[in-house]
Amino acid sequence: MLAIDQLGTGQSSKPNGDFVTLAETASAIHQVIGQMRSGNNALGQPFNKIVLVGHSFGSINAITVQATYHDADALVITALGHVPHELPFTNEFLAELAQYEYFTLPPEVRSAVFYSAPAADPDVIAYDNANLIDQITRGQLFTTFAAIFNDSVAQVSGPVLVQLGQNDALWPASYANGEAAYWTSASSITVQSLPDVGHSFNTHLDNKRGWKQISQWLSATAGWN
């Protein structure tokens, strides 16, 4: 498994925040996948099968990469759907964030939007908020956020798994029944609902349920372990 630090996050460099757009981050992922397939990578080993796994904004990136370049053999999308509905962000709040090249969501917003408090460890929520490492750029705000309801999902090829959390404040599983209709070019589409998790799947107590279902889906879809 390879976890990618996108431009502007983690140990990556921090270019101008208006430069880091959806097109740039998708292009970067495309280049990484090319290196993984060719063997021109840190391991010196080519990989014949590649699955793109995205979460939230990362899901939008994964969709854009697969819709544009068709690089991956399969796609796993978590905490993102396409059935139109009202999101818990006002235009005034988004305009306030747009003042900054790089920004993080305030702790009170992160707690309300990312977590289902009864299903998460309060110490984990506090630690997550205290570190505030999920920096977003203004370029991503104007392009990635804006791409949530665009039609790129209809260009995605290959098998797709979508997981939606029951208590996700952004993409609740109540919209799961309508999700498959948007993936018109996928060779197959599986939509799963995960109980007792909010938006940040991996930091909830029942995170292993979703991981296990991803593993089972990969095994059933193409014999991947």
Q: Is residue 36 part of a domain?
A: yes
- Please name the residue that has the structure tokens 């949530």: 148
CATH code of residue 70:
3.40.50.1820
Per-residue tens of pLDDT for the chain, all 225 residues: 788 888 888 777 889 989 999 999 999 999 999 999 999 988 899 999 999 999 999 999 999 999 999 999 999 999 999 999 988 888 899 899 999 999 988 899 999 999 999 999 999 999 998 886 678 899 999 998 888 888 899 999 999 999 999 999 999 999 999 999 999 999 999 999 999 999 999 999 999 999 999 999 999 986 776
Q: Is residue 6 part of a domain?
A: no
Q: Is residue 35 part of a domain?
A: yes
Contact (Cβ atoms closer than 8 angstroms) between residue 8 and residue 135: yes
Quick: pLDDT tens for 90-142.
Answer: 889 989 999 999 998 889 999 999 999 999 999 999 999 888 667 889 999 99
Q: 93 lies in which domain range?
A: 22-222
Q: Report the alpha-carbon distance of residue 213 to residue 158 in Å, rounded.
A: 18
Cα torsion 197, 203, 204, 209: sign? positive
Q: Is residue 61 part of a domain?
A: yes
Q: Is residue 199 part of a domain?
A: yes
Question: What is the SS3 assignment for 60-83?
Answer: HHHHHHHHHHCCCCEEEEECCCCC
- Please name the residue that has the structure tokens 């209709």: 181
Q: Is residue 8 part of a domain?
A: no
Q: Is residue 12 part of a domain?
A: no
How many domains does the chain divide into?
Answer: 1
Q: Is residue 146 part of a domain?
A: yes
